[in-house]
Amino acid sequence: DWTSESFAEQTIAELKVELGNDRVVMALSGGVDSSVAATLVHHAIGKNLFCIFVDNGLLRKDEYEQVLHSYEDMGLNIKGVDAKDLFYSELAGLTDPEAKRKAIGKAFIDIFDQEAHLIEDVKWLGQGTIYPDVIESVSVKGPSATIKSHHNVGGLPDFMKLKVVEPLKTLFKDEVRAVGRTLGISENILGRHPFPGPGLAIRILGDVTAEKVHILQQVDAIFINGLKKWDLYKEVWQAGVMLLPVQSVGVMGDERTYENVVALRAVTSVDGMTADWAHLPYDFLAEVSNDIINRVKGVNRVVYDISSKPPATIEWE
Ligand code: XMP
């Protein structure tokens, strides 16, 4: 019978044999999968695992600092790389969602490659691939497979001739979480909602600028902290906010305003393949809406997305 304890124990033992004294490089995202995968490898080979955490400037408010500290507390050999400017300059002027994803993927690979080359004699690339990622990448799914170019799998530049180690390849998400708990990883990392690799860039409709990221980070933090405060965070599968390329008229005191609209999105789901919009309490939505409009300069209207997937996707881009 499968238990997280025996999986962890056996996997660590196998990794020790497979990796020996080799060096492994791994990019961490702050998400559940890469964190659990890295922890397993860390238990097997310790400081021979070199972890890299990139600040792409598209993370949630304060996320980079918080996640980096958690990784340090876990004893991982982790290097934080501030690459915000590169990502913003690669994204400048791009409005097409796929073009934005490609630019982000490329910037990420450039940074990762640069960092990996600094590690002498590295032989392996560690990845947090889980079973559904494997299925999604190989199956022929028709148009849905090409709607978005998820770059989590196979994003390895050819010239990096690294062997790949993927300790979670056979697991589903809930099993990954169970293994993470067995390994003592904090609930703060294990319990988080999924967050897309391209981050806030695909929640800023149209072109991405540092200013827009700053606005969206503030709005998103109010929404997410509100969900936690109201004990709703765990009730929803994923939540976030879209910054729309739409201005609307409002009034603030005696002044007429003409500012941005944001759309809140929260869904219930099992695996993200289908999703229902979360029926959040009106009182909660009212409080969050007031907080956003009163506290975030540049936003004067909040709407709630009541579309299910399919046909709508969870993200708007
Ligand atoms: P959609 O919008 O397709 O999203 O309903 C389903 C799940 O996938 C996430 N998502 C992404 N994750 N790179 C990622 O790593 C991407 O380009 C990407 N696009 C969507 C989305 O957040 C949701 O959890």
Give the CATH number, domain containing residue 286: 3.30.300.10
Q: Which atom of ligand 1 is nearest to the CA of 147?
A: 3
Any domain includes 197? no
Are 185 and 214 within one domain?
A: no
Are 223 and 270 within one domain?
A: yes
Distance from Cα 309 to the centre of ligand 1, integer Å: 12
Q: Is the C-alpha dihedral spanning 197, 198, 199, 205 positive or negative?
A: negative
Give the CATH number, domain containing residue 107: 3.40.50.620
Q: How far apart are CA 277 and CA 290, in angstroms?
A: 21
Distance from Cα 196 to the centre of ligand 1, integer Å: 5
Q: Has 105 been labeled as part of a binding site? A: no
Q: Which of 316, 308, 192, 202 is nearest to 263 (CA)?
A: 316
Query: 253 lies in which domain range?
Result: 209-304
CB-based contact 220:60 (threshold 8 Å): yes
Are 169 and 294 within one domain?
A: no
Are 176 and 219 within one domain?
A: no
Whether the pLDDT of residue 212 is over 70: the answer is yes
Whether the pLDDT of residue 144 is over 70: the answer is no
Any domain includes 309? no
Any domain includes 214? yes
Q: How far apart are CA 302 and CA 216, in angstroms?
A: 12
pLDDT at 150: 45
Q: Which residue has the higher pLDDT, 8 or 155?
A: 8
**Angle at the Cα of 82 (from 78 to 83), degrees rounded to 5?**
125
Any domain includes 200? no
Any domain includes 68? yes
Distance from Cα 18 to the centre of ligand 1, integer Å: 32
Distance from Cα 96 to the centre of ligand 1, integer Å: 16
Distance from Cα 211 to the centre of ligand 1, integer Å: 23
Q: How far apart are CA 162 and CA 241, in angstroms?
A: 37
With a Cβ cut-off of 6 Å, ligand 1 is lined by 101, 148, 150, 152, 194, 196-198, 238, 272, 309, 313-315
The pTM of the full predicted model, rounded to 2 decimals, is 0.90
**Please, which pLDDT band fits residue 147 given cuts at 50, 70 and 90?**
very low
Q: Which atom of ligand 1 is nearest to the CA of 316?
A: 2
Any domain includes 80? yes
Are 79 and 159 within one domain?
A: yes
Any domain includes 203? no
**Please, which pLDDT band fits residue 239 given cuts at 50, 70 and 90?**
very high
For tokens 């390895």, what's the residue? Answer: 156
Q: Which amino acid is at 155?
A: G
Are 21 and 164 within one domain?
A: yes
- Taking CA atoms only, the protein residue closest to ligand 1 atom 18 is 196
Range with the poorest average pLDDT among 59-73, 123-137, 193-207, 213-227: 123-137
Domains in the chain, number = 2
Q: Which of 13, 73, 20 is nearest to 43 (CA)?
A: 13
pLDDT at 135: 82
- Taking CA atoms only, the protein residue closest to ligand 1 atom 6 is 272
Q: Which of 82, 79, 81, 75 is nearest to 51 (CA)?
A: 79
Report how far apart, in Å, the C-alpha atoms of 93 and of each of 97, 206, 209, 251 are: 12, 9, 9, 31
**Please, which pLDDT band fits residue 143 given cuts at 50, 70 and 90?**
very low
Q: Which of 168, 190, 152 is nearest to 31 (CA)?
A: 190
Are 40 and 122 within one domain?
A: yes
* Strand bridging mode 163-165 / 49-55: unpaired
**Please, which pLDDT band fits residue 137 given cuts at 50, 70 and 90?**
low
Q: Per-residue pLDDT averaged across 110-138, rounded?
A: 89
Report pLDDT digits (tens) over 35-47.
Answer: 999 999 999 999 9
Whether the pLDDT of residue 66 is over 80: the answer is yes
Q: Has 137 been labeled as part of a binding site? A: no
Any domain includes 204? no
Distance from Cα 301 to the centre of ligand 1, integer Å: 25
Best residue among 151, 270, 273, 315 to mutate for probing ligand 1, ranked by most atoms within 8 Å of CB = 315
**Please, which pLDDT band fits residue 289 given cuts at 50, 70 and 90?**
very high
Final residue in a domain of this structure, among 190, 217, 248: 190
Are 82 and 157 within one domain?
A: yes
CB-based contact 275:267 (threshold 8 Å): yes
Mean pLDDT: which of 130-134, 143-147, 180-184, 271-275 is highest? 180-184
Are 125 and 31 within one domain?
A: yes
Per the DSSP assignment, residues forming a β-bridge with 259 are 248
CB-based contact 37:168 (threshold 8 Å): yes
What is the predicted ipTM? 0.99
pLDDT at 252: 85
